[in-house]
């Protein structure tokens, strides 16, 4: 799958060298806990987002929109021609233009599992991340609380994850990730609707809905 779209499925990061040894900042915990409580594992959510992909080195950017359906660890994400499904076991990465879907099983013991299962970032921040509170500052035209997170496992491909939180409601509004290769992704949550009725088949690729799509299994 196109690397630009992969990151929109989820989120992981590692800190720059000067911040690698940062610990878990107690001042950040209030806000991370509020974000964790915003998303309940037993509730279905519909999330609409706008995204900006920036190549810092080449000074280029691309903007677009995406939609996420999520319940617990399960989710479906649509971003342009890409659709990604995760049913709690298998990950289906579909390119509707190329008429291909890749099927894999994320390994919970590898850093990529957090990327494949975005809710893990929100629910296991104490276990998997170091973090620090950066205070309230203007970001994209609004005052927001910034919290930076750094994975404890430094072998992942990303350099930093930032959460921007509404200072009044303590709701997550923006996620920003930086890739080691100089790519930055900003995801603005334009709408978050809870209490959605989502059936299990929402999170599984349906070959009958996409006839002619080649299924490529990457299963060990």
Domain ranges of the chain: 3-217
Angle at 35 between CA 34 and CA 39, to 5 degrees: 110
Which of 12-21, 154-163, 181-190 comes out lowest in average pLDDT? 12-21
Q: Residue 79's CB: how many other CB atoms inside 10 A?
A: 22
Q: Tell me the mean pLDDT in the region 108-120.
A: 70
More confident residue, 181 or 145: 145
pLDDT at site 176:
92
**Separation between Cα atoms, residue 154 and residue 17, nearest integer Å:** 11
Contact 76/203 with Cβ under 8 angstroms?
A: yes
> What are the angstrom distances between the C-alpha of 130 and each of 14, 125, 194?
9, 8, 28
Both tokens assigned to 34 = 């509020």
> Hey, which residues does 14 pair with through a beta bridge?
none
Angle at 9 between CA 175 and CA 155, to 5 degrees: 85
Q: Tell me the mean pLDDT in the region 46-68.
A: 93
Pairing of strands 100-104, 158-165: unpaired
pLDDT at site 16:
35
Residue pointed to by tokens 């900042």: 25
Please give the model's pTM, rounded to 2 decimal places: 0.83
More confident residue, 158 or 179: 179
**Separation between Cα atoms, residue 130 and residue 127, nearest integer Å:** 9
> Hey, which residues does 101 pair with through a beta bridge?
94, 215
Both tokens assigned to 16 = 């720059």
Q: Tell me the mean pLDDT in the region 22-27.
A: 83
**Separation between Cα atoms, residue 208 and residue 127, nearest integer Å:** 40
Both tokens assigned to 83 = 């659709």
Both tokens assigned to 8 = 């929109």
CATH class held by domain 3-217: mainly beta
**Is the alpha carbon torsion for 104, 108, 109, 115 positive or negative?**
positive
**Separation between Cα atoms, residue 184 and residue 177, nearest integer Å:** 6
């Amino acid at each position: 799958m196109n690397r630009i779209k992969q990151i929109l499925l989820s989120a992981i990061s590692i800190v720059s060298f000067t911040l690698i040894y940062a610990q878990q900042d107690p001042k950040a915990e209030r806000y991370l806990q509020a974000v964790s409580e915003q998303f309940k594992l037993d509730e279905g959510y519909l999330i609409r987002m706008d995204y900006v992909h920036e190549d810092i080195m080449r000074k280029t950017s691309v903007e677009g929109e995406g939609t996420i359906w999520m319940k617990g660890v399960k989710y479906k994400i649509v971003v342009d021609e890409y659709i990604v499904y995760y049913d709690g076991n298998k990950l289906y990465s579909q390119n509707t233009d190329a008429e291909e879907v890749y099927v894999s099983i994320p390994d919970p013991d590898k850093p990529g599992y957090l990327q494949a299962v975005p809710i893990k970032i929100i629910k296991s921040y104490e276990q998997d991340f170091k973090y620090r509170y950066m205070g309230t500052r203007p970001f994209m035209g609004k005052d927001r609380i910034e919290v930076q997170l750094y994975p404890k496992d430094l072998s992942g491909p990303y350099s930093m994850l930032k959460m921007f939180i509404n200072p009044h409601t303590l709701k997550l509004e923006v996620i920003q990730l930086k890739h080691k290769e100089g790519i930055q992704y900003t995801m603005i949550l334009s709408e978050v609707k809870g209490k959605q009725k989502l059936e299990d088949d929402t999170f599984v690729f349906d070959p009958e809905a996409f006839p002619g799509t080649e299924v490529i299994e990457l299963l060990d």
